[in-house]
């Protein structure tokens, strides 16, 4: 049943979200310098729209993310911590530190990093989405809802916030019609159809009609 493997599915989706964040990380870092970081982690503005950034900074950041992708967590953590100290006006390194800690299940550290990222850039939907997941895991459902709603106010097309909000609404808050809408929106925003979510939509649609 879906209820038995939901946590595994959740982790898979969050991991994908993190991976997409790495892909555009240098662009996000540059935009952060002007506190106009792109709203979503799956797209970034055209390069000519971004402020100039020191190539050395970009190279250091990419090296940290390469270490993350390679599973060299200690190396990545050290590099990201150095970047946060040297460039405190960039939210990207803080957000990626949060993702690093999140996948190591160091949730208090992850929470602190995501919150630090939001202090720099309140529109960082990646951080809001992850804070929603952390709050849900702590049983703080109202707080989790607030994080997802904030993310979707900033970017109504942020797919992962729709997915995680839908899970929260269905499995923890019993709001089935609302959950169905978010699953459907997630599916619309995902380039490749998600087979599992498709099943959820069919199942939930039947339950809502009853």
* Distance from chain centroid for Cα 116: 15
Residue 18's pLDDT is what?
A: 40
For residue 63, what are its two tokens?
């090296």
Q: What is the pTM of this model?
A: 0.77
- CA geometry: angle at 52 spanning 51 and 55, to 5°? 140
User: Which residues 6+ apart lie within 8 Å of 49 measured at CB?
Assistant: none
What distance in Å separates the CA atoms of residue 27 and residue 51, rounded to the nearest whole number?
A: 10
Q: What integer best gives the mean pLDDT of the chain?
A: 78
For the packed helices 195-209 and 2-23, what is the interaxial angle rounded to 10 degrees? 130
- The pLDDT confidence band at residue 53, using thresholds 50, 70 and 90, is low
Mean pLDDT lowest among 8-12, 87-91, 120-124: 8-12
SS3 of 53-119: the string is CCHHHHHHHHHHHHHHHCCCHHHHHHHHHHHHHHCCCCCHHHHHHHHHHHHCCCHHHHHHHHHHHHH
- The answer to whether residues 126 and 134 touch, using CB atoms and an 8 Å cutoff, is no
pLDDT digits (tens, 9 = 90+) for 132-166: 999 999 999 999 999 999 999 999 999 999 999 99
The structural domains of the chain, ordered by start, are 2-209 (1.25.40.10)
In the chain, % helix, strand, coil (3-state, to 5) comes to 75, 0, 25
């Amino acid at each position: 049943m879906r209820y038995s493997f939901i946590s595994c599915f959740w982790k898979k989706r969050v991991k994908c979200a993190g991976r997409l964040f790495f892909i555009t990380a240098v662009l996000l870092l540059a935009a952060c310098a002007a506190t106009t970081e792109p709203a979503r982690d799956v797209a970034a503005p055209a390069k000519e729209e971004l402020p100039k950034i020191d190539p050395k900074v970009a190279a250091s950041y990419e090296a940290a993310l390469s270490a993350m992708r390679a599973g060299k967590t200690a190396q990545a953590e050290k590099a990201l911590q150095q970047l946060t100290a040297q460039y405190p006006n960039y939210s990207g390194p803080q957000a990626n530190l949060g993702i690093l800690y999140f996948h190591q299940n160091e949730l208090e550290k992850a929470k602190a990093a995501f919150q630090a990222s939001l202090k720099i850039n309140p529109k960082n939907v990646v951080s809001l989405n992850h804070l929603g997941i952390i709050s849900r895991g702590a049983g703080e459902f109202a707080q989790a809802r607030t994080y997802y709603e904030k993310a979707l106010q900033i970017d109504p097309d942020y797919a992962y916030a729709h997915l995680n909000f839908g899970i929260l609404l269905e499995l923890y808050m019993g709001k089935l019609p609302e959950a169905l809408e978010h699953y459907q929106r997630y599916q619309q925003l995902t380039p490749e159809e998600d087979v599992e979510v498709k099943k959820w939509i069919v199942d939930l649609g039947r339950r809502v009609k009853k």
